[in-house]
Structure 1
Amino acid sequence: MATASDCLFCKIVAGEIPNDTVHETDTVLAFRDITPRANVHVLVIPKAHQDTLAQMSAEDADSVAELFTAAGEVARLEGIDESGYRVVSNVGPDAGQEVFHVHVHVLGGQNLGPVAAGRG
C-alpha cells in the first residue's frame, strides 16, 4: 500500500503533479482520468490519504458522503446528471485498484450498458 509521501494522488493534491481539475472543495478533488474508459471519466478523491474504502470506518462517514456528493456534482458539471452515469470504486488488487488512495470513477457521456460480471 502507498504512504502519503509516495502516493500519486497525494502528489496531485499537493500540486506536484499537474491535473485537469473538474471540481474541488476543501476536502475533495475531482480531475479527468489520463486514460479515460468513457467519454466522461473523472476521478474523485478525498484530499486526505486513505488506501481503500474498506479501510474507512464509521468515523469517516462524512468523508465518504463528501466523496459521493462530489461525484454527483461532477456529473452535473459534465452534463451527464440527467442522461445517467456510473460511479465505481475498485477496492483492492482483485478489483483492479491501481492507485491505493481512495477514489471513485465517474463514468458517462455514452451508453455504458449493464455492469459486466466477468468470470475468469
Structure 2
Amino acid sequence: MSECIFCQIQAGTLPASVVYEDDLALVILDLFPIREAHCLVIPRQHESLLEGLDAAVTHRLMDLARRTIVAQKRAGLAVKAHNVVVNDGREANQHVPHVHVHVIPRRGGDTLATAMTWATRLMNVFGMAKRRKRLDRLAGLLSEHFPEKL
C-alpha cells in the first residue's frame, strides 16, 4: 500500500534503522521511542489488524519480539524488563494501520518518564538528522547481538 509508512520502509522509499529482516518480517527502531532501543516488529504482509495475519506470520512476529529482547540484553543496555504491545485498531491507539509489535525495554523506576514520553512522543519532530544517526548506530549494535535462532 503506497500510503502505508511501513510498506514504504519495506520498499526502500523511506528510511529506517533496521535491526533485522527476513522474508516474513523486519525489526526496526521506533523513530519516536518511548525508551531507548524501542523496537517495532513489522510483518512484510500488509494487514491493518492482527486477525488478518496467518498463524505462521503471527508466530514469527512473537519469535522476533523474543529475539529482540535477547539482543537488547546482549548489547549491554540497562534493561530489566519489557513491554511487548500490539495496539490493534485505531480505537486501541494504533497510529499506523499496519500490524506491528512494540518491544519497549524498561529499566525499573521509569514509569512516570515512560508515561510522559508516550503522551508526547509524536510531538517532537525537530533534530531528525541527529536522531536518525543515533538510531542507526543503535540498530547496528542491536544487529550485532541479534540471535539467529534460539
The alignment's TM-score, normalised by the length of structure 2, stands at 0.65
Task: Provide the rounded CA distance (Å) in 2 between the counterparts of 1:26 and 1:105.
Answer: 20
User: 1:54 Cα deviation (Å)?
Assistant: 3.4
1:84 aligns with 2:81: yes
SS at match of 1:12: helix
1:1-120 to 2 correspondences below 5 Å: 4-56=1-53, 60-79=54-73, 83-111=80-108
Unaligned runs of 5+ in 2: 116-150
- Between the two proteins, the alignment pairs up a number of residues equal to 107
Greater helix fraction, Structure 1 or Structure 2: 2
Contact map agreement 2:49 2:98 (CA 8 A) in 1: yes
Contact map agreement 1:39 1:110 (CA 8 A) in 2: no
Q: Deviations over 1:48-79 (max 9, x none)?
A: 101111333xxx01110000001111111111
User: 1:109 Cα deviation (Å)?
Assistant: 4.1
Contact map agreement 1:46 1:102 (CA 8 A) in 2: yes
User: 1:103 Cα deviation (Å)?
Assistant: 0.2
Greater strand fraction, Structure 1 or Structure 2: 1
**Which aligned runs of 4 or more in structure 1 are off by greater than 2 angstroms?**
none
SS at match of 1:40: coil
Unaligned runs of 5+ in 1: none
Contact map agreement 1:38 1:110 (CA 8 A) in 2: no
User: 1:10 Cα deviation (Å)?
Assistant: 0.3
